[in-house]
Amino acid sequence: MKKIQDSHTLGIVSGLIGGIGMIIFDLISNKYGISKRSYAQAASGMWVASKKQANSKGGKILGIAMTLGLSSLGGVIMTNLLSKKGTDNLITKGIFYGATYGAITTALLSGFPTNKVKPKDATSNLSYVAAHILYGITTTQLISKLGDKTVLNKHPMDYISSKPFYEFNSSEQDQKVQSYTH
């Protein structure tokens, strides 16, 4: 399989797929009464005037679109973080990135006075945390699996040049190194 070589495309694709997993988890949680309202309803509540509009077909579509958009943004951020910090300990990083990103987005969506569909109960918010942790794990795993090593390498110069390290030194230092190696 060809790997994705562009970091933004990698983040968008991984974030979208992770976001779909998060939405499915959230819908199951909502169906079984763990969460009182879906994350998509809470997201659409930011942009509509009432709970009735947020629960309408258009409101649900808006909420899903907003959730997937935020998931893509999160995927781009996670791709940039993993390219700088490495792809080791992906589960731990996925849990941390997902929970942190979820806390920030939930706080933003709930914190605006215009949001008419804020989750106010503990179980709904815990369900959102679990959904975001699943999102983080899924997204970091996808970034690692779909991304080309040149995107995720902490030291891209290792792949850009085949020159030994000593050839990057100044000419005076280069002469000293060559005199020791010959």
Model pLDDT, residue 86:
86
Residue 113, burial from CB neighbour count under 10 angstroms (0-12, 13-18, 19+): exposed
| Rounded Cα gap, residues 85 and 91, in angstroms | 14
- CB proximity list for 90: less than 8 A, separation 6 or greater: 137, 140, 141, 144
Mean pLDDT, contiguous 10-residue spans, the chain (182 residues): 92 97 93 86 77 84 91 95 90 96 81 65 88 96 93 60 49 53 53
The number of beta carbons lying within 10 Å of the beta carbon of residue 12 is 20
The number of beta carbons lying within 10 Å of the beta carbon of residue 57 is 7
pTM of the model: 0.78
